[in-house]
Structure 1
Amino acid sequence: MGYRLRPLAAAVAVLFSGAVAPQFAAAEGAEAKPTVLDDVVVSADKLQPVPVSNTVSPSSIEQMRPATSDTASLLRNIPGVSTYGAGGVSSLPVIRGLADDRIRIKVDGMDLIASCPNHMNPPLSYIDPTNVGTLRVYSGITPVSVGGDSIAGTIIADTLAPIFAAPGQDYLATGQIGGFYRSNGNAWGANIAATAATENISVTYTGSSARADNYKAGGNFKTTTATGRVGHTLPLDEVGSTAYESLNQMLSFAVKGGNHLVEAKFGFQHIPEQLYPNQRMDMLDNEQKTFNLRYLGQFDWGLFEARAYYERVDPHYMDFGPDKRFWYGAASGGPMAGNGAPCSPISANCAAGMPMYTKSSNTGVTVKADVNLDAQNLIRVGGLYQHYTLDDWWPPSGAAMWPGTFDNINDGSRDRLGLFGEWESRLNAQWLTLLGARYERVTTDAGNVRGYDPTTNGMGMMVNDQKKDAAAFNAQDRERTDNNWDLTALARYTPDANSDIEFGVARKVRSPNLYERYTWSTWSMAAVMNNLVGDGNGYFGNINLKPEQAHTVSATWDLHAADRRSELRITPYYTRVTDYIDAIRCPVGASCTPANRTTTNEFVVLQYANQSAVLYGIDVSGRILLASTGVGDFGLTGSLAYTHGKNLDTDDGLYNIMPLNGKLALTHTLGGWNGAVEVVASAAKDDVSDVRNEIKTAGYGLTNLRGSYTWKQVRVDLGVDNLFDKFYSLPLGGAYTGQGSTMMLNGIPWGIAVPGMGRSIYTGVTFKF
């Protein structure tokens, strides 16, 4: 039976429904404001803009850094936001049931794109938690000035703002150095930041590294120790393919003069290894280089910002990692062998892995102006251009991957051209409104493809239809142009100093990504390598996919004390998506058999298809100051989130919808000490996507401890996640494919969900200078 969430839900409801109101008048003092380091960045608005983004506070970022190397996980305390399980630094964010490319993610103003058939290098994986300065989330109804080509919302991650010497100070040298250790998985890492600056020039270097071995669950979750590699086994409680190593560096230059600022940033990331417990492949090399140039100027009429950037990912390399079978073919023992024996030479009977390469380039330009018409009216206008190219190819490795190169996506391109206009107006002391429209033209294309052997479709048990599928794909006109319109209307009513009501409607549109449109092979062995969601199934694309169109209505009731040390936010929402990109059991092709269309307990091959969907739910969050005493301040924080997703065409559940979940924490602060005891709980996930044979998960409750102490320039963090070492399955972790003969569609067991981490003790130390 699933863990029942009612005690947590009741606690949150009782806590914030009755106890928060008296605190509005009684709370004293104000929360510390962040220091403004840059006098060129000026905001003319005295009130919060519409809508208010959910911002991860600097103190929360500092608290979570020692416990994670995954920037997306820093969003875990925002209600309605969760993450798909993936690699150790690369989980995929979800906003109210909509994930990955349905969210616009900007990193230092750059629209980054995952360049991988398994989305192993998503945008937030390119910024280390130790280098995050600000992290904001716009959920659902997003201003057109920060939205575009997305239907779920927008995540904005920025590195720290440049630091300059104070007026009259000749020279400034500052920085910090830190490190962490986590017991489960033997994870450790270090980071450094150093700045040299005058009043007008600033130079900053940041660097970080993180690495970990496989982690252990809170108990045994599988029935075999075999990995597919001779002489290598894994304990029954060890989650295979969860190790990683990541290296990040950035060099930043900034110059300011008067009301003008110019920044240039050069970034480099190298991930030598990031293994995946819910994908058939592992990422064994990934290099990203970025150049990012920004101008910001303040004028009498308002602000102007312009940015140009270039990103290159090359190489991105995947193959079977150390916990998965590497040798295939008759000479290695055949498909039924538990372990693949090494063989040679590489031939039709001997395969050495299945190498897969990707390279991409991403060039973008954005401009934006905030024009103050008068004291009550602000106009925002702007535009963007983005040119993205992608090549995805698989060199021959023997056996069925022979004798030539397989073109997964050849000469792929995706171009965006966007324009927006937005009007924010203060009607009177109580009413603030925002209206906006955005147009985007998205053009995609891809070149001709071929299979490993373009002369045959295979035979017998090895039918693969490579020749047939490639010919059908190549015969089509593959260029597609989408003309997308976003519209947003929002209003906020402020009846008094302790409450706000915000409500609105929006239309948002997203065009398909290149993998959804242009992957072409119905062969199961190729299809399972094209999987963006980690469910163990195989996927291939659909050139005729239409853009997704989402219509959302939501409202937020915000009750708060003047200093916001006590507050309650309640947000119900409803979204209907036309041409939602879901999946169907493939109708025609090498793997589209009667068994594939009907099985309920195996992995299957699917094709992307437009259907209709609805998502609705509610987010609740709040905090309350319980007492200010001689031994510190005591408070409670809590959140509750519920989302329901349904395919209206098939009456099926949508994939990977986070079930009812919540958090409740007792906090304590005293001087430099900050500590908390936290309970995290989730209901069972039993409303699943049947077309995908999605795996159900049981409910659970976990207890976490965390604390930090800051003394002068030194900060020490210490915590325990999953204090009682409970076993649980990740509701959004996907299917466990972390060991064994993962190349074959059903060469590994179906029905095992990726488990969460068992008890982990962590510590971190930071020294500022």
Structure 2
Amino acid sequence: MILKLKMSAAAVALAFTPGAFAAETETMPEVEVKAEKLQSLPALTNSSLDQSSLLLQRANTSDTARLLDGQPGVSFYGAGGVSSLPVIHGMADDRVRVKVDGMDLISACANHMNPPLSYIDPSSVGNIKVYAGIAPVSVGGDSIGGTIQVNSQAPEFAREGQGTLIKGQAGVLYRSNGNARGANLTTMIASESLSMMYSGSTVKSDNYTAAQNFKAAGPAATGRGWLAGNEVGSSFYRSDNQAIGIAMRRDNHLLELKLGLQEIPYQGFPNQRMDMTGNNSKQANLHYTGQYLWGALEGRVYNEDTHHRMNFLEDKQFIYGTAPGMPMETKGKNTGALVKADVDLSERDILRLGSEYQRYRLSDWWSASGTGGMSPNTFWNINNGQRDRFDVFAEWEARWNPQLTSQFGVRSETVKMNTGAVQGYNTTATYLATSTAFNALDRQRTDNNIDVTALARYTPDTSQTFEADYAAKTRSPNLYERYTWSTKSTMVLNMNNWFGDGNGYVGNPDLKPEIAHTLSVAGSWHDDMQQAWEMKISPYYTRVENYIDAVACPTCAVRTDGFVNLSLANQTARLYGADVSGRKLLARNSEYGSFSAMGVLNYVNGKNLTTGDNLYNIMPLNLKLAVEQHIGNWTNSIETQLVSAKTKVEAVRKEMRTGGYGLLNLYSSYEWKQARLDIGLENALNKFYAYPLGGAYVGQGATMGTGVAYGAVVPGMGRSFNTSLTVKF
């Protein structure tokens, strides 16, 4: 049984009272013809969220990454309202392989404002799988920190003799903190062999507020500019998403075409000096699955084009007065293909074979602005960056007997990278010598990488399971890590920051791929029927050779504002920790209904072995506990989140410490046959806290007057009353 560990009404009800939410599963049920064997053997450290267990989370967030809140080993880097970055066991961003409907999406932004999960709205998500730590080679490469697979709702077809099937659902949401409001719609029409679906969503939010004043009022100001009190500047956003899908099935074959369109007209970032002033994305995704006498076959081709724009939005623009702004544009084009087969060698053995190709192009340019240092030329941050990846893999899974299963996989990757010539805003000493030296380099790089994974699972009886895993995973640097080049302008260095720490960064063309060796073990204990109680413990250890970390930049511009300008270098790092999760049925069908309890404890420790420094943005020890009541159509839960102080910080980045805190959340839902109402009170006690991975607060661009120092940690959200209503038709 895969434990559903999000502290939500639906998740606990599903885990403890099978069938209690039968009405929920009628919402767009999944009808798939793909072979189950196309999904690799799930490790004990993996977790899964289906349609039912996602219902409550959707009421409380418009950020798809946050649907994973409460999963073992998962945390989040703070960012914009729909763009946080998932972290698995202390590793984040490009170190985690994220696939959306099978597409390997790539952030096309120097600040990574458009990570893969920002391209799908929570209302469109059908299921999520998290491979925490050890991910089989068949589910993706070019990563060292695990894999996240997010899939939209699967196509549905009419039953034989049913005729035309027409159905859908519509929802609205409101969250008091930030005055967030949104709506979504999903409709479909299908025959027995053809299905067509449309989904659309829109969400809009103002700046959210912290639980108390975190900055004293500055000098008199007009307009928004200086935000007095507890308002967190540059945290507003709007996001619109649309998708259509067409699917055809015949016998054991399914062919799907999905077309997606996203427009984010604006999104503020409290921990970046820039804001998103536009993000337009077009996606096309063709997918085939089929079953044959010899096994199963899967194929996919996709294309995604992104046009991303940044500048100062109103909260930051006020600080710079009449400055002309700093327009920045990025275009990314991502084309990929996958072929994967499951071959049934025998009753015992399955062989998975596959090949994957990805062609990525990125251009990042900043138009001249005004008549000063940002003129008269266009600044080319990355000019026609190229990153092409070709992989082949093989994976052997053997079920030796009912108690023992093994899996062994090898993946070979070739990553080729290059970029064109660059130029600065002008030919002064600030840019000319550095751009000339960069243009004279041989910038082409080719990495030949190997991944190896091994898993053994032993189930001695119906009440316990044990597992041991080993993986050697490799990740090549991204285009920004290798090819950002300007060192003499602090302003430019600040713009190249995908960490949210307020510092400035420059790339390093000579970076080597990261190689992570991970060893993990896991144990699961439960009652024979896996309904009354369960506990899982999974410690792990990872050593990363050529870990890409920040280092002092002796050739960079000197700054005196409290932040630093940094470069990147290969070093050696290690991470270790453990995830502990459990659940317990407290009472069933009592006078007051059924009661359940669950908890998740996460711990990770990261160290740079080369320098002796701590690793950046490591989530401190944290615990979630929840108790839920299910009675009639009501489901009610009380949840507490406890986080210890973050005292181990990375000195080279001047990372800031945070205090420990505890939050109380209350949730309730009521379900009718054709409708569902969710309400929640998050941070019910209105506790002020700084989220440990929130980054440096630069939401207003610079410090004015008195108050908190420039670069304080972004404060967490204060009390919020959340509600959503979903109607099926």
- State the TM bucket, normalised to the shorter chain: over 0.9
Take 2:222 and 2:463, find their aligned partners in 1: how far apart are those partners? Answer: 63
SS at match of 2:713: coil
1:478 is displaced (CA, Å) by 0.4
1:226 is displaced (CA, Å) by 6.4
Take 2:544 and 2:206, find their aligned partners in 1: how far apart are those partners? Answer: 40
From 233, 246, 250, give the equivalent of 1:240.
233
From 417, 432, 438, give the equivalent of 1:467.
432
1:392 aligns with 2:364: yes
1:751 is displaced (CA, Å) by 4.2
Residue 357 (structure 1) aligns with = 329
Q: Residues 687-713 of structure 1, C-alpha deviation per residue, up to 9 Å, x if partnerless? A: 000000001000000000001111110
Structure 1 contact 325–741 (Cα < 8 Å) conserved? no
From 363, 387, 392, give the equivalent of 1:414.
387
Take 1:44 and 1:649, find their aligned partners in 2: how far apart are those partners? Answer: 42
Residue 697 (structure 1) aligns with = 658
Alignment of 1:217-616 (within 5 A): 217-225=210-218, 232-314=225-307, 316-325=308-317, 339-342=319-322, 351-398=323-370, 399-453=372-426, 455-457=427-429, 465-522=430-487, 523-565=489-531, 566-589=533-556, 591=557, 593=558, 602-616=562-576
Paired AA for residue 256 in structure 1: R
Take 2:672 and 2:35, find their aligned partners in 1: how far apart are those partners? Answer: 32
1:341 is displaced (CA, Å) by 3.8
Take 2:191 and 2:648, find their aligned partners in 1: how far apart are those partners? Answer: 58
Structure 1 contact 147–153 (Cα < 8 Å) conserved? no
Paired AA for residue 395 in structure 1: S
Paired AA for residue 384 in structure 1: E
Paired AA for residue 253 in structure 2: H
1:297 is displaced (CA, Å) by 0.7
Structure 1 unmatched runs, 5+: 1-11, 13-26, 327-338, 343-350, 458-464
Residue 686 (structure 1) aligns with = 647
From 136, 139, 142, give the equivalent of 2:135.
142
1:189 aligns with 2:209: no
Take 2:440 and 2:162, find their aligned partners in 1: how far apart are those partners? Answer: 68
Evaluate the alpha carbon distance shift between residue 141 and residue 48 of structure 1 in structure 2; reply closer, same or farther with a 3 A threshold: closer
Residue 712 (structure 1) aligns with = 673
Residue 19 (structure 1) aligns with = none
Structure 2 contact 502–711 (Cα < 8 Å) conserved? no
1:662 aligns with 2:654: no
1:180 is displaced (CA, Å) by 0.3
1:560 is displaced (CA, Å) by 1.9
Paired AA for residue 490 in structure 2: S
Paired AA for residue 581 in structure 1: I
Take 1:205 and 1:270, find their aligned partners in 2: how far apart are those partners? Answer: 16
Take 1:562 and 1:62, find their aligned partners in 2: how far apart are those partners? Answer: 29
Take 1:563 and 1:753, find their aligned partners in 2: how far apart are those partners? Answer: 46
Number of aligned positions between the proteins: 705
1:229 is displaced (CA, Å) by 7.5
Q: Residues 458-495 of structure 1, C-alpha deviation per residue, up to 9 Å, x if partnerless? A: xxxxxxx3111101111110010000000001000001
SS at match of 2:138: coil
TM-score by length of 1: 0.89
Q: Residues 82-141 of structure 1, C-alpha deviation per residue, up to 9 Å, x if partnerless? A: 000000000000000000000000000000000000000000000100000011100111
Structure 2 contact 210–718 (Cα < 8 Å) conserved? yes
Structure 1 contact 310–363 (Cα < 8 Å) conserved? yes
Structure 2 contact 32–155 (Cα < 8 Å) conserved? no
Indicate the larger mover: 111-120 or 29-38: 29-38
Q: Residues 660-708 of structure 1, C-alpha deviation per residue, up to 9 Å, x if partnerless? A: 0010001111232211100001000010000000010000000000011
From 618, 637, 643, give the equivalent of 1:676.
637
Take 1:341 and 1:92, find their aligned partners in 2: how far apart are those partners? Answer: 32
Q: Residues 170-192 of structure 1, C-alpha deviation per residue, up to 9 Å, x if partnerless? A: 10001100010000000000000
Take 1:28 and 1:714, find their aligned partners in 2: how far apart are those partners? Answer: 20
Q: Residues 254-297 of structure 1, C-alpha deviation per residue, up to 9 Å, x if partnerless? A: 00011111000000000001000000000010000000001111
1:538 is displaced (CA, Å) by 0.4
Alignment of 1:147-166 (within 5 A): 147-166=140-159
Residue 9 (structure 2) aligns with = none
Evaluate the alpha carbon distance shift between residue 299 and residue 469 of structure 1 in structure 2; reply closer, same or farther with a 3 A threshold: same
Take 2:340 and 2:236, find their aligned partners in 1: how far apart are those partners? Answer: 41
Paired AA for residue 97 in structure 1: G
Structure 1 contact 226–234 (Cα < 8 Å) conserved? no
Take 1:154 and 1:621, find their aligned partners in 2: how far apart are those partners? Answer: 20
Residue 207 (structure 1) aligns with = 200
SS at match of 1:352: coil
Indicate the larger mover: 251-260 or 230-239: 230-239
SS at match of 1:323: helix
Residue 13 (structure 2) aligns with = none
Paired AA for residue 402 in structure 2: A
1:245 is displaced (CA, Å) by 0.2
SS at match of 2:315: coil
Paired AA for residue 509 in structure 1: T
1:584 is displaced (CA, Å) by 0.6
Evaluate the alpha carbon distance shift between residue 673 and residue 31 of structure 1 in structure 2; reply closer, same or farther with a 3 A threshold: closer
Q: Residues 152-210 of structure 1, C-alpha deviation per residue, up to 9 Å, x if partnerless? A: 00000000100100111110001100010000000000000000000000000000000
Take 1:52 and 1:677, find their aligned partners in 2: how far apart are those partners? Answer: 25
TM-score by length of 2: 0.94
Take 2:152 and 2:581, find their aligned partners in 1: how far apart are those partners? Answer: 27
Evaluate the alpha carbon distance shift between residue 52 and residue 651 of structure 1 in structure 2; reply closer, same or farther with a 3 A threshold: closer
Residue 11 (structure 2) aligns with = none
1:427 is displaced (CA, Å) by 1.0
Aligned-pair Cα RMSD in Å = 2.1
SS at match of 2:566: strand
Evaluate the alpha carbon distance shift between residue 371 and residue 726 of structure 1 in structure 2; reply closer, same or farther with a 3 A threshold: same
SS at match of 1:216: coil
From 619, 622, 647, give the equivalent of 2:579.
619
Share of identical aligned residues, percent? 53
From 613, 618, 642, give the equivalent of 2:603.
642
SS at match of 1:66: helix
1:632 is displaced (CA, Å) by 1.4
Paired AA for residue 527 in structure 2: A
Evaluate the alpha carbon distance shift between residue 258 and residue 765 of structure 1 in structure 2; reply closer, same or farther with a 3 A threshold: same
Take 2:682 and 2:586, find their aligned partners in 1: how far apart are those partners? Answer: 25
Structure 2 unmatched runs, 5+: 6-15
Paired AA for residue 325 in structure 1: Q
Structure 1 contact 626–635 (Cα < 8 Å) conserved? yes
Take 2:217 and 2:328, find their aligned partners in 1: how far apart are those partners? Answer: 28
Evaluate the alpha carbon distance shift between residue 228 and residue 588 of structure 1 in structure 2; reply closer, same or farther with a 3 A threshold: farther
Structure 1 contact 228–739 (Cα < 8 Å) conserved? no
Structure 1 contact 708–717 (Cα < 8 Å) conserved? yes
From 706, 718, 723, give the equivalent of 1:758.
718
Paired AA for residue 424 in structure 1: E
Indicate the larger mover: 208-217 or 49-58: 49-58
